Amino acid sequence: MRVNGWGERARSLCLGGGAALLWVVAALAPPAQGAEITPFRTVNLSPIVQIFGLPAIGTATVLPKGGGEASLVFDAANNFAIDETPRDQIVLDGETYRLALGLRYGIARGIEGGIELPFVFHSGGELDGFVEWFHDSFGFGTGGRDQVPEGRLLYTYTRDGVQQFRVDHPNGGIGDIRLTAGIRLYDDESAAPRALALRAALKLPTGNSAKLRGSGSVDGSLWLTGSDDYRLGNWGHATVFAAAGGTVMSKGDVLEGQQKSVAAFGSIGAGWSPFDWFALKVQTNWHTPLYRGSSLRELDADTLQIIGGGTIAFPTGTALDLGVSEDLNIKTSPDVAFHLALTQRF
C-alpha cells in the first residue's frame, strides 16, 4: 500500500493539535457520570455525498445553560465503485478522510448553539490491502478490486461523453463549515431519561468544490432526535434512539444539473452499557438520493448504512467512540469506514 506523506503529516498535525486542546479542557472538567449512550457522529462519506449538508443526528438531550462540549471526530472511508450505463460512467476508487473540530454550548435553558470546522482529505487506497484481505477471508469477493491498481485515487463521472468532474491527485483542506442549534422539546430528567430535541444545521460553502471538499451550496437541515433509556438493574442500562428530518440545498457546483434540492434522512439505533465506563451500540443511517437523472446506484438510490462499535468513558468527562460502518445498500456509500469521536464536556 502507498502512503501519501503530505496527507499523513497533515492528518497527524490536525489530530495531535485537536487532541491536545481536548485534554487541556479535560483537566478542568468534572468527573464523568458513566457511559452515556449517544448516536455515532458519522455521515455518508461517499466523495459525492459528504460535500452536502446531511448531518450527524446528534443527541436527544440539550446541553444545560453554561455547559459546553468540545469534540474531535475522525472518519476514514475506503471507496470502491465502478459502474456504467449507455449514458453514464462513474469511478469512485480511493479514500476520503474527514476530521471535524466541534464546539457546542448551552446558550440558555433548553437552547444550545455550536459550530463544526471540518477538514477533508482525498488520497489513494491506503486501506486497500486490508479491505481485500477482509473480503477474501470472509468470502465476500473482491468486487473487481483485483482488476485495478492498488492505492489508486480516481473519482470521476462522465455523462453523455462529457466529463463532469475528476479528482485523481491527493488533496486536502478545509471543508464546508457548519453552524448548529438545538432546542429541547422534552426531557423528563429522570434516572432513565426520555428526551426529544429539535435540531438544525446550516452548512456554508467554504470548501473547494472542484476538489470535492465542498459542494458550493448553502444547505439547511432540520430534524427531530429522540431517545429513551431503560435501567436493567445489575445489567447496567440500555438506550434506544432515532431521528428523522430533511435537508434543503441551494444549487451547488458539483453536478449542478442533476443535483436535487431536497433530501430526507433518518436513523435508528440502540446501545447497552453493562459498566459505567463502557457501552456497545449499533446504528443504521438512511437518506434519499442527492442526484437525479441517472440509473447509476451511486447517484440515484437510497443509502442505508450500518455502524457498530462502542463508547469508552473516562473519569475526566471524556468519551471515546469507536465504530465501523458498512454499506447495506451497495455502491451508495463507502465499502467500509472507520469512525473515531473524542468528546469532552466542560
Within a 10 A sphere around the Cβ of 244, how many other Cβ atoms?
15
Give the contacts of 44 (CB within 8 A, at least 6 positions apart): 50, 54, 285, 287, 303, 305, 332, 333, 334
Tens-level pLDDT at each residue, the chain (346 residues) = 333 444 444 445 445 555 554 454 444 444 334 589 999 999 999 999 999 999 999 999 999 999 999 999 999 999 999 999 999 999 999 999 999 999 999 999 999 999 999 999 999 977 766 766 665 655 565 566 666 778 899 999 999 999 999 999 999 999 999 999 999 999 998 988 999 999 999 999 999 999 999 999 999 999 999 999 999 998 999 999 999 999 999 999 999 999 999 999 999 999 999 999 999 999 999 999 999 999 999 999 999 999 999 999 998 889 999 999 999 999 999 989 999 999 999 9
Q: Are 173 and 112 in contact (CB under 8 A)?
A: no
What is the C-alpha separation between 334 and 78, in angstroms, rounded?
A: 6
Give the contacts of 327 (CB within 8 A, at least 6 positions apart): 303, 304, 305, 333, 334, 335
pLDDT score of 25: 42
Q: What is the pTM of this model?
A: 0.87
Q: Strand, coil or helix: what is 17?
A: helix
pLDDT score of 257: 95
Q: Are 264 and 245 in contact (CB under 8 A)?
A: yes
How many helices (H) and strands (E) the chain has is answered by 2, 15
What nine digits make up the cell of 263?
433530501
pLDDT score of 298: 97
Give the contacts of 292 (CB within 8 A, at least 6 positions apart): 258, 260, 299, 300
| Residue in 114, 44, 100 with CA at minimum distance from that of residue 332 | 44
pLDDT score of 226: 98
